[in-house]
Amino acid sequence: MDNARQQLIRLYLDNLQVRVTEMGYNQVLPDWRDLDYTPDYNKFYLICDGEGWLKIGDKEYAPHPGQWFLMPQGVKQSYSYTAGPRFTKYWCHFTAKVGENNLFNLLHIPVLLESGVEGEPQRLFQELLSCEADTSLTSPLLLKAAMMKLIAYYVEHAAAGAAGVEPAESSVPLQAVIEHIHLHYDRNLTIDELAERAHLHPNYFIRVFRRHFGTSPIQYVNRKRIEEAKWLLASTDLLLAEIGAKVGIPDVSYLSKLFKSSTGLSPTAYRLTHRTNP
């Protein structure tokens, strides 16, 4: 995977918001059956035992123990028991939003992962289920964190597989914008210039960018600049003015203000805290 696509995927994941609506571990009921419906949530099924049938989009599956399925929101699906022993499975229903979009509309991700019956996937589902009975004040945060771990495991291992993980075709114009930002953050980038890369009108481009990433194009450019400034502060002896020139913020006062707003530390304090050998 080239750097531009990797950066785009990381940007999606960095802005991901999740919500779990249902979860469980059980043998499916005798009436476990629904045909050609389109859910407004995503589903994970980790098959532990038994037999059954799934259809995701136009493709049919006869899942076996150890297979982990992603059934995305907005995709026509079917499922049913068969004549054999019914499925026992870990499962959850969840939303995964990046801006206004479902993560799995923005990325091409395989709907099947060969994960094995035991091991880390099972532990991650058990961690998720443990949050259901948690009555602590922070239980909503723990639930989201557990769901994030499940998604992270699935995406990471899907990316390592033969099919891989790729941005959807609709993301190609934005991929060009992200690549342009990463190559030219050190100079004055305008909305018109970035919109031209995406072949969009500037006003529409801003809306599309925010809808995809939950942030404006200029905010993202500044985030990239601050990340580079952090690296230069930690790994070089460059003066702050020199760093500002390299990252596209030559005004030292503004760079210091933006840096502290982003990190909570002044550039000097950051350097002292994170200093490594040049």
Q: Which residues, at least 6 apart from 206, have a Cβ–Cβ distance to it below 8 Å?
A: 191, 195, 216, 217
pLDDT > 90: percent of the chain: 76
Determine the average pLDDT of the residues in 28-35: 93
DSSP string covering 162-189, please? Answer: SS--EE-GGGHHHHHHHHHHHHHTTS--
Judged by DSSP in three states, 34 sits in strand
pLDDT of residue 276: 64
On the question of pLDDT at 188 being above 60, the answer is yes
pLDDT of residue 117: 65
Domains of the chain, earliest start first: 16-167 (2.60.120.280), 170-274 (1.10.10.60)
**Which residues fall within 8 angstroms of residue 147, CB to CB, at 6 or more apart?**
18, 20, 92, 94, 128
Could you tell me the pTM of the whole model?
0.81
* pLDDT for residue 116: 73
- Summarised one tens digit per residue, pLDDT across range 48-86 is 999 999 999 999 999 999 999 999 999 999 999 998 899
At 243 the pLDDT is 96
Q: ∠262-266-271 over CA atoms, to 5°?
A: 105
Q: Give the count of beta carbons closer than 10 Å to the beta carbon of residue 227.
A: 13
pLDDT tens digits, 155-178:
999 998 878 898 887 677 888 898
- How sure is the predictor about 148, in pLDDT bands with cuts at 50, 70 and 90? very high
Number of helical (H) and strand (E) elements in the chain, helices listed first: 11, 12
Report pLDDT for 32: 94
